[in-house]
Structure 1
C-alpha cells in the first residue's frame, strides 16, 4: 500500500496536465499499450483455462509492473470470493507473476535493442531531426552547470566590433553565450539596460558558463581582463524552480526568455526524468527547472513562473498520513449491480489519494512536502516488503507450477510482453505519425521500464527519447494499477 501511494504522489504533479492538455498522443499511446495487454491477457487466460489469479499474475509479470499485481491482489481481497477460492487465487497470482517477470523484462530489453532494426528505423537520424526542428541546446551534456563572472576592459577592437550599436541591437548573449551584468564607467558602477552603448575604457562584467567564456571573440579579450572586487561582487546561485503559475504552464520554454532576465537554464526535469533542453517543450505544472544566475534575478524568475523548491529534510507527516487514510476510506467504497458487487479497492483509492497529494504539493509549496529521498525510501521499503510476501507465497508452488503451466506461461509472457509493444509502434507510427525517437521513448515510458529506455537512448545516441518517456510514464503508472483492478472485475463476466 505504501508503494502504490508513493507512485501516486510522484505522478500527481504531471498527471492532470498530461491527461487534459498537450499529452493526448502520449495518453493514447499509454491506453493502447495497457489496453491491448489487458485484452490479450484475458484472452490467453481463457484459452489456457487458467483462473483469475494466474491470469492477473501473468499480466503483471509480463508487463514487469508491480502496480498491476498490487491492484489485482487488493481487488481480489475485496471481491467477496469464498476464502478457499481466494487463497488459491492469491497463491496463483504470486505464482504467475514470479514465472513471467523475468520473461517480460528480458524480452522487452531485447525488443528495445532489436525492434528499431527490424522495423528499419534509424533512431539517431530521427533524434537529429528533432534537434534541428526544435533548436535543441547543443550543450545539453555540459559538465559544469554553474556560470562564472569575469570582467574585461573595453578596448578599441570591441568598440569597433560594436560599431555604435546598443546592447539590445548587439544581442551579445545570442552571439557569445554570456550577458553583461554590470558596467563601470568613469568609476561609476551601474547595471546596464538595453539602450547602453559600450565606450572605450568601460569595464564590463560578463556572466556565462566557462566554455562560453573560452569561446569569446578575441575583441572581448584584447582589452585587459580586470579584477575589481566591486565589479565581480555577485552571488551566483543555482535553484530548482517548480512550474506552477498560469503564465508559465502551457507555454513553450523559449517564451520564458530566461536569458533576457540574466538567468541560465541547466536542466528540465519532468516526473524525475531529465529532459533535453528544448525551446519547444511545453511546460506542465510540476515541471522542475534548474536555473542559475544572480540570486535576485533567480528569485524574480521564480516568483514569475512558480516557486523555488524547498530544500528541507522535514516531511509533512500530517498531510502524508491524512491522505493515506483518505485513500483507504476511498478504497472501502463498493458498487452494487444486480447480484454483483465490487469495490474500488485500497490500491485504486491510495493511488487516487497520492495523485491528489502530489498535485496539491505542486500548487502549494508549503503543503505536503516530502523530500525525494524519504519518498524513495518509503516506496522501496513498501515494494520490498510486498515482494517478499509474493516470494513467500509463490515459493511453495513454483516447482509444481513450472511443470503444470511453465510452457504456457513462457508463451503467454512473451506474447503479452511484446505484442502490445508492436501494436503501440504501429499506432504511433501510422496513426499518430510521431517522430520515431519520441515514439520509442514513449513506448518504453508506457511500459515504465527504465533499463529499456536507456537502450533506446544509446541507440539514438541522444537523450531526446526521454521527451517521449516522460510523456507516458506518469499516466502509464496509473493505468497499470487500474488494469490490475479491471482484470479482476471483468473476469467473472467472461464466463
Structure 2
C-alpha cells in the first residue's frame, strides 16, 4: 500500500490493467467495458490506499480524449446536419432534454448535491465524457470550498459507476429484446427485408475479409486475334478501360509498349483493367495464359483528396473522359472514401469535394493525374502542429464564460476541446493534405486519454464512495433504470408514430442516442445484420457532441 501511495504512477497503470481485465468479464450479452471496469477498480484502490494524483494529469488526458473524439466525429457530424438526418437529430434532442430534466428533478426532489446529480446524469446516459465535463464544471463553482469541490467531484464518479451499471443492463435488454416485441417484429427478418431494399448501396467487408472477386485485375493473353493491331488502337477499341502494361516477344519484354507498337502472333500481352473489361479484352486479343515469369510490372497505389471544385457532382466515368490521364496513364480508381465510409468505385459513382480516391496505376500517370484533380493525401504520421493548435484553441474556447441571468455558463476545457476537435476534424476532411491524425493514432489517444482520466478520478474519489452509497444506495439504481427507459420509450413512440423511421433503424438509433456500444453490439447479434448500425452511427455522432455539454449545463443550473 505504501509503495502505491508513494508512486501514484504505479497505482494509475495498475488500475488500467486490472480495470480492462474486469471490463472483459461477460454475463450473457453484457460486458462492462474497460472504462467502467477501470473506474470500479480505481475507486476500490483509492479507498484502500488514498493515493493522490495531480489534477493537471486529469486535465491533460481529458483534453486529449475529448479533442480526439471530436476530431474523429467531425466529418460525419457536419455531414449529418441535413434535412435527411433531421429526424434522427430529433431523437438526440429527446435524449438530452429528458436526462437533464430527470436529473434536475431528482436533485430537487431528493435534495441531491451537484456532484451526485451530475454523476447520475453521466452514468444513466452511459456517456463517460460527461464525468469529465461535469467534474471540471464543479471545480469552477465559486461558492464552494476546496473541500466541497473535492467531495462533490468524488460523488460524480461514485454515482456514475452505480448508474452506469444499471443503465447499461437496461439499455442492452430494452433495445435488443423488449423493443422488437413492442414493435411486433422479428428483428432478424425486418433487417433482412430492409437490407434488400437498400442493397443497391453495396455491402461492406469485415476487417479480416477481402473481396473474392476484386474489381481491378491484371491478366496475360496470347495474341491470336489481335495480330497486326497497334497497342494504341487496341486500347481505344476497348474504350480506354484496359491498358497494355507490357508485351513479351520471344525473350524480350517491352514495358510499357509505345502506342504505335504492332502486335504479332504469339506475343504475350499483360493487360490491366476492371474485370468486365478484361474479359472483353480476351475476346479481342486471344486466349488467356497463366502468369508468365518476367512478364509483370509493378503498379503504384496512392490516395488523392478531391480538392478541385470542378469535380463536384461528376461521376467517375465523366472524370475519366475529361482527364485522358486515366486511359493514357493506365490509372484506375479502386476505392472512394467519404467521411470514413467506403463507396463502390463504379463508373456511375458521383464524387464530391473532399472525397478520397484510391488510385492504382503506373507511377508517372498517378503523378500527373493527382495534380489536376486534387492532392496526395498525407496520413502516415500525426501532424502535431495541427493537433497542438487544436487543443490550444479548444482550451481557450473553454475559458469563455457567458452569463444566462444569474447562471454563469462555461464550456470548460472539455466542451471547448470537443467543439475544436469537431471543427478541426471537419476542416481536415475537406482537403486531407495537412493536419494528419491517422485513425489508429486518434483512437489510441482517445481511449488512453479517457482511461487515464477515469483512473485518476476513481483514485481521488475512492474515500467518498462508501458514504454516498450508504446515503443514496436505493436511489442510484432506480435513477439509472428510469433515465434509460423514459427517453428511450419517448423516442420509440415519436420515431414510429411521427418520424416514420424504419423499425430496425429506429432501434439502432435509440442505442446511438444513448451512446451505447454494448447495446448496438447486442442488437446486431440478434438481427444477424449490420442494418441497425445505419441508424446508430447518426445518433451516436450527434449525441457524442450534445451529451458532454449537458454536464456543465446541469452543474451551472444546480450550482446557481
Q: Provide the residue aligned with 1:16 in structure 2.
A: 78
Of 459, 468, 481, the match for 2:548: 481
Q: Provide the residue aligned with 2:219 in structure 1.
A: 150
Question: Which stretch of the first structure deviates more once superposed, 223-232 or 390-399?
Answer: 223-232
Q: Is the 8 A contact 2:354 2:432 kept in 1?
A: no
1:223 equivalenced with 2:287 (yes/no): yes
Of 64, 72, 77, the match for 1:2: 64
The normalised TM-score by structure 1 is 0.77
Q: Provide the residue aligned with 1:353 in structure 2.
A: 420
Shift of 1:54: 0.9
**How many angstroms apart in 1 are the aligned matches of 2:538 and 2:345?**
14
Of 201, 226, 235, the match for 2:299: 235
Structure 1: stretches of 5+ with no match in the other structure: 159-165, 173-178, 193-198
Q: Provide the residue aligned with 1:37 in structure 2.
A: 99
Shift of 1:472: 2.6
Distance 1:234 1:275, change over 3 A: closer
**How many angstroms apart in 2 are the aligned matches of 1:284 and 1:491?**
46
1:396 equivalenced with 2:459 (yes/no): no
**How many angstroms apart in 1 are the aligned matches of 2:480 and 2:170?**
9
Q: Deviations over 1:295-344 (max 9, x none)?
A: 6777678667754432423x332332233222222222122355443333
**How many angstroms apart in 1 are the aligned matches of 2:364 and 2:505?**
37
Q: Is the 8 A contact 1:184 1:190 kept in 2?
A: no
SS in 1 for 2:472: helix
1:309 equivalenced with 2:354 (yes/no): no
Distance 1:185 1:378, change over 3 A: closer
**How many angstroms apart in 2 are the aligned matches of 1:240 and 1:480?**
35
Distance 1:433 1:256, change over 3 A: farther
Distance 1:294 1:325, change over 3 A: same
1:108 equivalenced with 2:171 (yes/no): yes
Root mean square deviation of aligned Cα: 4.4
SS in 1 for 2:507: helix
Q: Provide the residue aligned with 1:80 in structure 2.
A: 142
Q: Deviations over 1:338-359 (max 9, x none)?
A: 5443333222222222222222
**How many angstroms apart in 2 are the aligned matches of 1:296 and 1:456?**
48
**How many angstroms apart in 2 are the aligned matches of 1:391 and 1:307?**
46
Shift of 1:67: 1.5
1:62-73 to structure 2, matched below 5 A, reads 62-73=124-135
**How many angstroms apart in 2 are the aligned matches of 1:76 and 1:485?**
8
Structure 2: stretches of 5+ with no match in the other structure: 1-62, 227-233
SS in 2 for 1:342: strand
Q: Provide the residue aligned with 1:92 in structure 2.
A: 155
1:385 equivalenced with 2:447 (yes/no): no
**How many angstroms apart in 1 are the aligned matches of 2:112 and 2:364?**
64
**How many angstroms apart in 1 are the aligned matches of 2:248 and 2:342?**
45
Q: Is the 8 A contact 1:183 1:190 kept in 2?
A: no
Of 93, 96, 118, the match for 1:56: 118
Q: Is the 8 A contact 1:242 1:308 kept in 2?
A: yes
**How many angstroms apart in 1 are the aligned matches of 2:217 and 2:224?**
22
Distance 1:447 1:226, change over 3 A: same
**How many angstroms apart in 1 are the aligned matches of 2:497 and 2:215?**
43
Q: Is the 8 A contact 2:70 2:422 kept in 1?
A: yes
**How many angstroms apart in 1 are the aligned matches of 2:311 and 2:532?**
24
Distance 1:67 1:257, change over 3 A: farther
Of 507, 513, 518, the match for 1:440: 507
**How many angstroms apart in 2 are the aligned matches of 1:454 and 1:276?**
23
SS in 2 for 1:19: coil
Q: Provide the residue aligned with 2:271 in structure 1.
A: 205
Distance 1:136 1:259, change over 3 A: farther
Distance 1:264 1:375, change over 3 A: same
**How many angstroms apart in 1 are the aligned matches of 2:87 and 2:454?**
33
1:262-301 to structure 2, matched below 5 A, reads 263=332, 265=334, 268=337, 270=339
Shift of 1:116: 4.3
Shift of 1:68: 1.3
Shift of 1:412: 0.8
Shift of 1:479: 0.5
Q: Is the 8 A contact 2:154 2:465 kept in 1?
A: no
The normalised TM-score by structure 2 is 0.69
Question: Which stretch of the first structure deviates more once superposed, 430-439 or 287-296?
Answer: 287-296
SS in 1 for 2:271: strand
Figure out how many residues of one structure are paired with residues of the other and give that number: 466
Q: Provide the residue aligned with 1:334 in structure 2.
A: 401
**How many angstroms apart in 2 are the aligned matches of 1:431 and 1:278?**
36
Q: Provide the residue aligned with 1:176 in structure 2.
A: none
Q: Give the greater-gyration-radius structure (CA).
A: 2
Q: Deviations over 1:155-195 (max 9, x none)?
A: 78x9xxxxxxx9999999xxxxxx63339999995789xxx
Question: Which stretch of the first structure deviates more once superposed, 402-411 or 213-222?
Answer: 213-222
1:420 equivalenced with 2:483 (yes/no): no
Shift of 1:60: 0.6
Q: Provide the residue aligned with 2:197 in structure 1.
A: 132
Shift of 1:200: 13
Q: Is the 8 A contact 2:306 2:431 kept in 1?
A: no
Q: Is the 8 A contact 2:154 2:462 kept in 1?
A: no
Distance 1:234 1:373, change over 3 A: closer
**How many angstroms apart in 1 are the aligned matches of 2:489 and 2:384?**
44
Q: Provide the residue aligned with 2:57 in structure 1.
A: none
Q: Is the 8 A contact 2:242 2:281 kept in 1?
A: no
